[in-house]
Amino acid sequence: MNYPNGKKVKTNQPINAKQNTNIFSNRGMTLEEDINSTNTYYRQSNKAVIHKKPTPVQIVKVDYPKRSAAVITEAYFKQASTTDYNGIYRGKYIDFEAKETKNKTLFPLANVHDHQIEHMKAIDAHGGICFIIIRFAAHDQTFLLPAEKLFSYWNVKLNGGKKSISFDSLQTEGYPIPFQYRARVDYLAIIDKLYF
């Protein structure tokens, strides 16, 4: 069989039996890719309109090695970004941050910045739905943590306490988001239970 690129497919290659035993293992997707895919599904099914926020970048230098190609060689961030995603669901404004860690036991709060917490506090104060999604890659587990709970961990950090959220704490205080086929990170199912 030939594919469009003209290369033949080798059919005498042995098939690894372990490859198809669990559709959830080794998905090869990052948390951001999974959320982007989920948001596309939400929009296509008319469930919600949620997008990844673009990061404001100032382009300084562009090289044109060919007429048909341009390469950005120098750029900088115009301003600190706020959170990763925002949109609307069931008439409510939604705003959230997404973080992934390879650490097995804790999520370092150093991964969240002061200006992001301030932004989340403003959203919360104005009645928006605000939260953080944290994935522990080593455990292949993803959690939703409402902003109010994140703020309490942040306050402990500011007062000289722990500078992280343990995996065990997220298992008890966070809400696990199971992997699904269409809505890979179906966080709206949790939002429904918490806010509606």
**Six-digit token string for 125:** 């104060």
Burial label, 125 (beta-carbon count in 10 A; 0-12, 13-18, 19+): exposed
Q: Is 82 annotated as a binding residue?
A: yes
Q: Which amino acid is at 173?
A: E
pLDDT for 146 equals 98
Strands 92-101 and 49-52: unpaired
Retrieve residue 196's tokens. 């509606």
Spans of all domains in the chain: 30-53+81-195
Classify the C-alpha dihedral 78-114-171-92 as positive or negative. negative
Q: Are 153 and 130 in contact (CB under 8 A)?
A: no
Given CATH 3.40.1350.10, say whether it is the number of domain 30-53+81-195: yes
Bridge-partner residues for 2, per DSSP?
8
Query: Residue 141's CB: how many other CB atoms inside 10 A?
Result: 17
Instruction: Tell me what pLDDT residue 77 has.
Output: 67
The answer to whether the annotation marks 116 as part of a ligand binding site is yes
The answer to whether 82 and 88 are in contact (CB under 8 A) is no
Instruction: Kindly give the confidence (pLDDT) of every residue in the chain, 196 residues in length, as a single tens digit, with 9 standing for 90 and above.
Output: 444 445 444 444 444 434 433 334 334 459 999 999 999 999 999 999 999 987 767 788 888 877 778 888 887 766 667 899 999 999 999 999 999 999 999 999 999 999 999 999 999 999 999 999 999 999 999 999 999 999 999 999 999 999 999 999 999 999 999 998 889 999 999 999 999 9
Please tell me the distance from the alpha carbon of residue 187 to that of residue 192, in angstroms, as a whole number.
Answer: 9
Q: For residue 14, what pLDDT is reported? A: 44
The response to whether 21 counts as a known ligand-binding position is no
Cα–Cα distance between 77 and 122 in angstroms, integer? 23
Cα atoms in the 13 Å half-sphere on the side-chain side of 60: 6
Q: Is 97 annotated as a binding residue?
A: yes
Alpha-carbon distances, residue 31 vs 67, 76, 117, 148, 188 (angstroms): 36, 25, 20, 22, 16
